[in-house]
Amino acid sequence: MHVSVVIFAGGTGSRMQSEKPKQFLEVDNKPIIVHTLDHFQKNESVNDIVVVCKEDWIDYLNDLIFKYKLNKVKWVVPGGTTGQLSIYNGLMKLKKELPTVEDTVVLIHDGVRPVINQKVINENIKTVQEKGTSITVTPAIETVITIDDNGMIKDTVERAKCRMAKAPQCFWLKDIISVHEDAFTKGNTNMIDSATLMSSYGYKLHTVDGPSENLKITTPIDYYTFKTIYQILKENENFQVKED
């Protein structure tokens, strides 16, 4: 079995109020994208990584890959006009470069989601092998409601049955390539994430519980939250991001 990773790092710094794309902001003198890539670089099952990057930052990213010895990153490709198209570009690179897409598991992950762990990566790979799909989730910790067109509460969802879809989101490579190619030919190019796209094609999505700290750094408060988590991890060897 072969294991590939597609890292989406094509965002901008607009919501971060930063001229530098959020994935290149630093925590402890290391860019967020490097913190994220380190997890996959260190995983024994991962064979190769393709990073989808904002085109005019590709040279900058390549310098980081060299500097931090991220030798599992084999390819960097430009992003598309939507997140779905960016992931499509990464998948198409794998299709072109790998000898075969058969018996290959692919993990799709956000470049600005650095608080994961080896257990989450391994459990996702195992779940794809056993069940065909794997979506990292965390429990909903607040009440989830649905509303009507007037903004009135329509229904309250039982919290115990609610989960928040996170990443990595993992599949057999041949399956997700097939879905992406079909969606592309039909002009369906703006699904919110891979889980939603695969679900729309009838795939049953299985879950893996991830750490509640598995945040996506999108806003300034996310950035400062990650800095706090990272500092705690660094200063207190007895504190660990939960592996269960």
Neighbouring C-alpha atoms within 13 Å toward the C-beta of 238: 0
**Cβ neighbour number for residue 96 with a 10 Å cutoff:** 9
Give pLDDT tens digits for 184-238.
Answer: 999 999 999 999 999 999 999 999 999 989 999 999 999 999 999 998 878 775 5
pLDDT at 145: 92
What single DSSP character describes residue 222?
A: H
Residue 132 · residue 206 · CB < 8 Å = yes
- The CA-atom distances, in angstroms, between 57 and each of 38, 86, 235 are 19, 14, 32
DSSP state of 204: P
Residue 206 near residue 163, CB atoms below 8 Å: no
**Residue 236 pLDDT:** 72
* Domain layout of the chain by residue ranges: 2-137+164-235
**Per-residue pLDDT, 206:** 98
Phi and psi at 15, nearest 5°, equal: -75, -15
pLDDT of residue 16: 66
pLDDT at residue 244, rounded to an integer = 39
pLDDT at site 237? 58
Q: What are the angstrom distances between the C-alpha of 179 and each of 40, 109, 208? A: 25, 18, 22
Residues of the chain scoring pLDDT < 50: 241-244
Distant-in-sequence, close-in-space partners of 136: CB < 8 Å, separation ≥ 6? 116, 120, 124, 165, 166, 167, 168, 169, 207, 208, 209, 210, 214
What confidence score (pLDDT) does residue 17 get? 64
* CATH code 3.90.550.10 for 2-137+164-235: yes
